[in-house]
Structures are given as structure tokens and as C-alpha cells.
């Protein structure tokens, strides 16, 4: 009968691998699978079956903790009374051998016992036994194992001369070199679960999110690794073990270098995962085990690679979950089930655990940070209000409070303190543990008189039109250097710029502090139903079963060129593999300059366009019309980044950038633009902290004279296109004329024409008076 030599050692596993490979190369052995029961009692093993033509005694190399595992193992092997089992016990100073158990085992089984003091002696003894067995069988097999002796001796000698070198470079220095500002974030997130559970989807989404925050991360995916590093491994138990052993070592190296290493492997055996954890923890590297506990029935239903069907048909052997076991983690750090929770929610849970383990800053947690009081806080605040110092705020301030309270500026907890303000002003980012794009300062100005009156207050009640709105806690006062702010954000200090004018007229001090907002800001203008918060939009998209969201901001009326762009973009995303792309049509709803079309008119025009578009170009069933509450700064490419970052809070994956999306004519020379119209889109492709959002270019559309519709501009047919500028459109509307057929939906044009004609009438009445 063939016997099973089991090579087992807690350390020096490379040498054990070496011996196993020698035996396999000499055709003395074949790979074998032991039962899951045996594996559960073994810390490390390479299992091999001897050829059927030999009757070798079993060889067991083990650590000293044999009193539990060895009796069960021997009872499974059931050696004949005439068989001899060579037992090598590694006795290190830290081990505690149960000698009574060993004596009982020797008397019960025919054991030859060898005690060795270190792994080098263990290896020599193992070689000695193997060589003796081999020599005994040479005559039958006519195979010389002399080169085994030589290779093994060479390997031992090589290992004698190999020493582990400890780097003198501290992890803090590595972190600083990676831009982590002294906080070492090297770690491994280990995702385990059945094929099709969602491991790779979560892993790559996590990698993308972490990198988008300016932190280094790398995903090691099971299929990808088997295409390279582990392409010589199959799916036997021993190869599965070696697969995981190698990847654990690689992950540890990545993490030690300061990266977050995200591992997505089935890794079916608890023992293998425990070894990976132990390897990391022995080097003080955080190890987060994530059990993607999606049911087998769901995984098999998905079967994106067709593997389950092959396994069921007998075409694929040793497939985990079908004819190979999967040992569920006993104590994972995180459990997610992608059949009942979204990928976003899975990421939130993982990032929450990483924050709990101090690998990531809590501010990196994906959840949108709303600043509303709960019911108990509200009651307490109302009772406290009469005793608080008060500060009256402007309508612009209230709009920024709405932005902050609804979470559009996550992770800001309130109006910027000086450190946040300086980071925003000089770097365009917040850098509290990670990089968060924030190019527009969100600040609260106040006068010198108010500063002197409030400087000793720990809490300030903010009031608008004598109504209590919010509490500003732990206020911090710092100088409002207006010229510096304007030159940094706008590239000019020209007082004719409408937002700069407001800055220059505002207070000489800024107040930073944490906000607690009494309740949702309501404007009671008939449009509050469209003012959906980021969390509400996320929920809405989930209910629509959107698999991706593309956002488009506009501050002008919609024409058929816009709808053509939206229609084309949706088809582009479908061609990329998405099944249900949803459009977020998101007009800006805060302060705008006087000559812009007011929000109520724009919203009426947008609704008319959606309702009356007979061709349903925007696909009403897959379009969400909502209002973005931010004021408009007209800061060009700087502001475009703020608009994009805010849409990320809604869960948008793609963002369409138009021509000059946040620009305006030069304040001193109306014949030219203040900012290059193309720079907004270019800057977004390079902006830090926006990697998670894919930027879609805005294709220029113009009116095609012969086709009588809006079409994408073709320079080679320039004469066939008519560019209808905003100035010309306003003139046509004001004069009560009709635009060319196919330029805009008639119902939408009617709203616009009525507005401009009312302005013309007001102007005429004023002149007459």
C-alpha cells in the first residue's frame, strides 16, 4: 500500500517545499489531497502520496504540540504493526513537549522518535531518512537519488549562509515619502468567499476609492495572480495552500512598504487564512479579514465565468463549493453579503473597520456627513437658545449652511477653521489623514465688532431673518485676508467680478467652527421637493436599480444639443457594459449673478423639456431632476472641481463637463472670457482627490441647417452648422420670435420666451416711468 509522508514544520517552509519538489520530480510521489479533517489539525504541510509500487514508511515532521494533533493523525493513517513511522519532533526553547503523550504514542504505534533542536537539524534528519528509504528501493526502481543528496546539501548550505536583513528605514519615513504625513497605513484587507461572491468587485472598488483619497493601495486578485506569480499551481489542497502562502508573503511585503494591499482570493481553508493573519501580526501589520458571505445559490446563479456550470457537469474538478470544501471564517473582522447589501455599503463597513483599527482616518468613511440635530439635541438647543450669543447671517451664508448640513462638503463639520481654510486656499485639498478635494472655501465672515463681541463665546446661535438656524460650536476667529483669498481662488482681485465684489464687501474676520443645524433648510418657493440631499439621491438611485450614475450640471436652459449629449452618453455607458445608467440632471440652485436665468425659470423650463419631449431624448424613466444648493462663485477651473467633488457625494460615477462650466466674461473686457473655456475639463482629469469620478468630455453641438436639428459639430462641414449663442437666443426670445425647428422643445422655449419678454416689458415700463 502507499503511505503518506507528511512534512510539517512551523517555520522554514521553503526547505520543506524544496524536498517535496525533489520527490515529485523523481516520480516517487504524486500530489494528493488529505481529508479536510487532517488539514484542520495541521499548521503547515505538504502532502504527497508515494507511488503505488512502493511501501515507504510514513515520515512525520512536527512541532512539539503533538499531543492533540498527532493521535488523530495516526489513527487516520492506520499503520500496520510491521510499519515504522519516523517521527521528528522540533524541540525549541519556547516549546513545551508533553513527554507522557509522546511515550504513549511510541508504545501504541511503531514509532522511531527523533528530537531535534532547530529547523536546520530537522532538515538534516529529514534528508537522512528520505535518503535511507530511497537507497532501500533503488534496486526495484533503478533510480538514483544521488542528485537529491547533492541538491539537498546545497540547499542546506545556502540556507546556512542566508541572513534576514532588517531595514533601517522606519515605517514613519516610508509613510512620509508616500505623502501620508507621518501616519503609516500599510495593511492588508483579505477578502475571502466563494467564486462569484463579489470579492473582486469589492476589492477593486475599495482600491479605487482609497487611491482617490490620495492613499496608495494595490489589489491582488486571485485570477490575476494565477496568470503570473502562481501560474504553476493547480487546485489540489497542497497547491491551494501554496497559492495562499505565496500571496500572504507578497501582501505582507506590499503592506510593509506602506501600501494598503487588498487581497481577493477564495482562500477556502481556515488554517491558510490563519497563517496569513499570523504572518502579518507577527510584523505588527494590520490584517483585516472580510468574509464575503454571499450564499452559494446566489453565486451559482450569477456564474459570470460559467465555472459553476462546468463543475456541475463534471468538466471542472476540485471546484470550491461544489466538489471541494469551503471553510467559512470563524471570527472574520467584517461580514458582507452582496446579495442583500450594495457594494457602497460593503465599502462603508470595511472602511469603518479600518478606521476602528486606526489604519484610516474616520473622515475617510464613505457615509455622507450630515450636520442636522436629532430630536433630543433640537429640544435642548431650543431651550438653550435664549441664553446664547447670536449672530445674524446673510442669505449667502444660509445657502452655505444648507450645503454643509446636507453633506455636500463632506467631511467638513462646519465652516472652515483656519487650518482647513489654508489647505483649501493653497493646496485645493483638505489633508486630514488623506487628500479630499476642496477648492472653494466655505467660510463665515463677520465684522470686527461681532468678533469682539463673540470672541469669548463657546457657542454662537446663527440666525437668519430673526429665525434660529444653527449653533456654531467652539468658534475660531481668524483674519479675512480678502485680496489673498480672491487672487488664490479667482486669479484676480477685480472688484467688478460679482462674487469678488461680495467678498470685498464682507467682514474682516472669518469664524470657523462645528455646525449643528436645527432642521432642513426650506426656501418655500415651490422647489423644495427638488432639493434632494446626497443621501436621498443615493437612496433614489438604489430604488431605480442604477448600476451607474452620470451627472450633468447646468446653469442655463436645456436645448436639444444637451439632450443629444445626454442620449449619447447613456449609450456610451451601455456600450461599456452598464445595464441601467441613470442621469442626474443637476442645475445649480444657489446664488447666481443678476443676468443669469433665475432658478424658478430654469426649473420650469427643465420640467417642460422633460414632459414635452416627444422623442424622450433624456429618457424620463432614467433621469432624476434635482437642485444642487451651492452658490455660484464663477471661479472657473477652480470651482469646477468643487462641483465635481460635490456630485461624488451622491454616488455619481461619471461627470459631464461642458464648455466654460464656471466661467464668465472678463470683468474689464467683455469681449473675452476670464478663463479658458476648455480648462475646466482638462483640470478635472488631473485634480487630486477626484480619481473616483470619471470625467466625460462635452462634445460641441450646433444647429444643423439641412437636418433641422442639433448635431455634433463636424469641422469639415462648418458651413452646414449654425452656432446659436446665448446672446442670440436671448434676443430671439425677447423679440417674441421662434428659434429654428429642432433647436429646443416648444414647451421649453415657451417658458424661456415668456421670461425674457417679461424682462423686456419691465425694462420698457421703467424707461417710461
- The residues carrying an active-site annotation are 267
User: Cα angle at 236 between 50 and 314, to 5 degrees?
Assistant: 115
> Could you give the count of Cα atoms lying within 13 Å of 26 in the half-sphere of its Cβ?
25
Looking at 557-684, list the stretches that DSSP marks H as alpha helix, in order from N- to C-terminal side: 560-575, 599-612, 637-648, 679-684
Looking at 286-429, list the stretches that DSSP marks H as alpha helix, in order from N- to C-terminal side: 296-302, 307-312, 343-356, 375-384, 395-406, 418-427
Can you tell me the distance from the alpha carbon of 413 to that of 676, in angstroms, rounded to the nearest whole number? 34
* Cell numbers at 285, concatenated: 501589520
Can you tell me the distance from the alpha carbon of 681 to that of 598, in angstroms, rounded to the nearest whole number? 25
Which of 320, 321, 326 shows the shortest CA–CA distance to 235?
A: 320
Inter-CA distances, 222 with 106, 263, 326, Å:
43, 8, 16
CB 9 within 8 A of CB 122: yes
3-class SS of residue 709? strand
Measured distance between the N- and C-terminal CA atoms of the chain, rounded to whole angstroms: 115
Which residue is it, cell 445559490?
297
- 426: number of Cβ within 10 Å: 10
3-class SS of residue 122? helix
**DSSP line for 459-491:** EEEEEETTEEEEEEEEEEEEE--HHHHHHHHHS
Total residues belonging to the chain: 769
Inter-CA distances, 354 with 244, 266, 278, 349, 482, Å:
22, 21, 18, 9, 40
User: Cα angle at 453 between 450 and 459, to 5 degrees?
Assistant: 95
Write 18-25 long-range contacts (CB < 8 A, 24+): 18/151, 18/152, 18/155, 19/123, 19/126, 19/127, 19/130, 19/152, 20/46, 20/48, 20/238, 22/148, 22/151, 22/152, 23/48, 23/130, 24/48
Which residue is it, cell 503533538?
66
Report whether the peptide linkage leading into residue 411 is cis, meaning its omega lies within 30 degrees of zero: yes
In sequence order, the β-bridge partners of residue 665 are 673
Can you tell me the distance from the alpha carbon of 66 to that of 58, in angstroms, rounded to the nearest whole number? 16
Can you tell me the distance from the alpha carbon of 696 to that of 714, in angstroms, rounded to the nearest whole number? 19
Can you tell me the distance from the alpha carbon of 720 to that of 760, in angstroms, rounded to the nearest whole number? 32
Inter-CA distances, 680 with 292, 293, 375, 635, 704, Å:
40, 43, 42, 10, 27
Can you tell me the distance from the alpha carbon of 769 to that of 760, in angstroms, rounded to the nearest whole number? 14
Looking at 703-745, list the stretches that DSSP marks H as alpha helix, in order from N- to C-terminal side: 726-734
Amino acid at each position: 500500500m502507499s503511505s503518506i509522508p507528511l512534512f510539517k514544520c512551523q517555520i522554514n517552509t521553503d526547505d520543506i517545499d524544496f524536498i517535496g519538489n525533489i520527490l515529485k520530480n523523481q516520480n516517487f510521489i504524486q500530489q494528493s489531497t488529505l481529508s479536510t479533517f487532517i488539514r484542520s489539525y495541521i499548521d503547515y504541510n505538504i502532502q504527497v502520496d508515494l507511488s503505488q509500487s512502493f511501501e515507504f514508511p510514513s515520515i512525520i515532521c512536527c512541532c512539539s504540540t503533538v499531543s492533540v494533533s498527532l493521535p488523530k493523525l495516526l489513527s487516520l493513517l492506520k499503520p500496520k504493526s510491521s510499519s515504522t513511522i519516523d517521527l521528528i519532533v522540533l524541540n525549541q526553547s519556547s516549546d513545551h513537549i508533553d513527554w507522557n503523550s509522546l511515550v504513549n504514542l511510541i508504545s501504541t504505534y511503531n514509532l522511531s522518535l527523533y528530537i531535534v533542536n532547530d529547523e536546520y537539524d530537522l532538515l538534516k534528519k529529514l534528508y537522512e531518512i528520505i535518503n535511507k528509504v530511497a537507497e532501500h528501493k533503488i534496486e526495484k526502481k533503478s533510480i538514483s537519488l544521488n542528485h537529491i543528496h547533492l541538491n539537498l546539501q546545497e540547499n542546506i548550505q545556502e540556507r546556512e549562509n542566508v541572513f534576514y536583513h532588517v531595514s533601517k528605514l522606519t515605517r514613519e519615513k516610508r509613510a512620509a515619502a508616500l505623502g501620508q504625513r507621518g501616519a503609516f497605513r500599510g495593511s492588508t484587507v483579505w477578502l475571502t468567499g466563494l467564486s462569484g461572491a463579489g470579492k473582486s468587485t469589492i476589492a477593486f472598488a475599495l482600491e479605487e476609492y482609497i487611491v482617490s483619497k490620495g492613499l496608495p493601495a494595490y489589489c491582488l486578485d486571485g485570477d490575476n495572480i494565477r496568470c503570473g506569480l502562481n501560474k504553476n499551481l493547480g487546485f489540489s489542497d497542497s497547491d491551494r495552500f501554496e497559492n495562499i502562502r505565496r500571496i500572504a508573503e507578497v501582501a505582507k511585503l506590499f503592506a510593509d512598504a506602506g501600501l494598503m494591499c487588498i487581497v481577493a482570493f477564495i482562500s477556502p481553508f481556515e488554517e491558510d487564512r490563519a497563517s496569513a493573519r499570523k504572518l502579518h501580526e507577527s510584523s505588527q501589520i494590520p490584517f483585516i479579514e472580510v468574509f464575503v458571505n454571499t450564499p452559494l445559490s446566489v453565486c451559482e446563479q450569477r456564474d459570470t465565468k460559467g465555472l459553476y456550470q462546468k463543475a456541475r457537469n463534471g468538466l471542472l474538478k476540485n471546484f470550491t463549493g461544489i466538489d471541494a470544501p469551503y471553510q467559512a471564517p470563524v471570527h472574520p473582522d467584517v461580514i458582507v453579503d452582496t446579495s442583500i447589501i450594495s457594494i457602497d455599503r460593503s465599502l462603508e463597513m470595511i472602511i469603518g473597520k479600518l478606521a476602528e483599527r486606526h489604519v484610516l482616518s474616520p473622515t475617510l468613511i464613505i457615509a455622507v456627513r450630515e450636520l442636522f440635530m436629532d430630536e433630543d439635541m433640537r429640544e435642548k438647543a431650543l431651550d438653550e437658545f435664549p441664553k446664547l450669543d447670536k449672530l445674524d447671517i446673510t442669505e449667502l451664508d444660509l445657502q452655505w449652511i444648507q450645503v454643509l448640513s446636507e453633506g455636500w462638503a463632506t467631511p467638513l463639520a462646519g465652516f472652515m477653521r483656519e487650518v482647513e481654510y489654508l489647505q483649501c486656499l493653497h493646496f485645493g485639498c483638505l489633508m486630514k489623514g488623506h487628500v479630499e478635494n476642496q477648492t472653494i472655501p466655505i467660510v463665515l465672515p463677520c465684522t470686527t465688532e461681532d468678533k469682539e463681541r463673540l470672541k469669548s463665546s463657546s457657542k454662537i446661535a446663527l440666525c437668519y431673518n430673526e429665525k434660529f438656524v444653527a449653533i456654531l460650536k467652539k468658534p475660531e476667529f481668524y483674519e479675512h485676508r480678502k485680496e489673498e483669498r480672491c487672487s488664490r481662488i479667482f486669479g484676480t482681485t477685480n472688484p467688478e467680478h460679482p462674487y469678488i465684489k461680495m467678498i470685498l464687501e464682507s467682514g474682516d474676520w472669518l469664524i470657523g467652527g462645528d455646525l449643528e443645524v436645527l432642521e432642513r433648510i426650506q426656501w418655500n418657493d415651490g422647489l423644495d421637493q427638488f432639493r434632494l440631499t446626497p443621501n436621498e439621491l443615493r437612496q433614489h438611485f438604489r430604488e431605480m436599480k442604477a448600476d451607474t450614475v452620470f451627472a450633468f450640471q447646468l446653469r442655463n436652459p436645456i436645448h436639444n444639443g444637451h439632450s443629444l449629449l445626454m442620449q449619447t452618453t447613456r449609450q456610451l455607458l451601455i456600450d461599456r457594459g452598464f445595464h441601467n445608467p441613470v442621469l442626474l440632471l443637476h442645475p445649480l440652485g444657489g446664488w447666481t449673478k443678476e443676468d443669469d436665468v433665475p432658478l424658478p425659470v430654469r426649473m420650469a423650463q427643465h420640467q417642460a423639456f422633460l414632459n414635452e419631449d416627444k422623442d424622450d431624448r433624456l429618457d424620463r424613466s432614467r433621469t432624476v431632476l434635482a437642485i444642487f444648493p451651492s452658490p455660484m462663485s464663477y471661479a472657473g477651473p477652480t470651482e469646477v472641481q468643487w462641483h465635481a467633488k460635490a456630485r461624488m457625494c451622491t454616488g455619481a460615477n461619471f461627470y459631464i463637463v461642458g464648455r466654460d462650466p464656471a466661467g464668465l466674461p472678463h470683468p474689464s473686457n467683455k469681449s473675452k472670457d476670464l478663463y479658458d473655456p476648455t480648462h475646466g475639463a482638462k483640470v478635472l482629469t488631473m485634480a487630486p482627490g477626484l480619481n473616483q469620478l470619471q470625467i466625460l468630455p462635452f462634445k460641441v453641438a450646433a444647429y444643423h441647417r439641412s437636418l433641422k436639428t442639433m448635431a455634433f459639430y463636424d469641422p469639415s462641414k462648418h458651413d452646414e452648422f449654425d452656432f446659436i449663442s446665448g446672446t442670440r437666443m436671448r434676443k430671439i426670445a425677447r423679440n417674441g420670435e421662434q428659434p429654428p425647428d429642432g433647436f429646443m422643445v416648444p414647451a421649453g422655449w415657451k417658458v424661456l420666451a415668456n421670461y425674457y419678454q417679461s424682462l423686456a416689458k419691465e425694462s420698457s415700463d421703467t424707461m417710461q416711468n
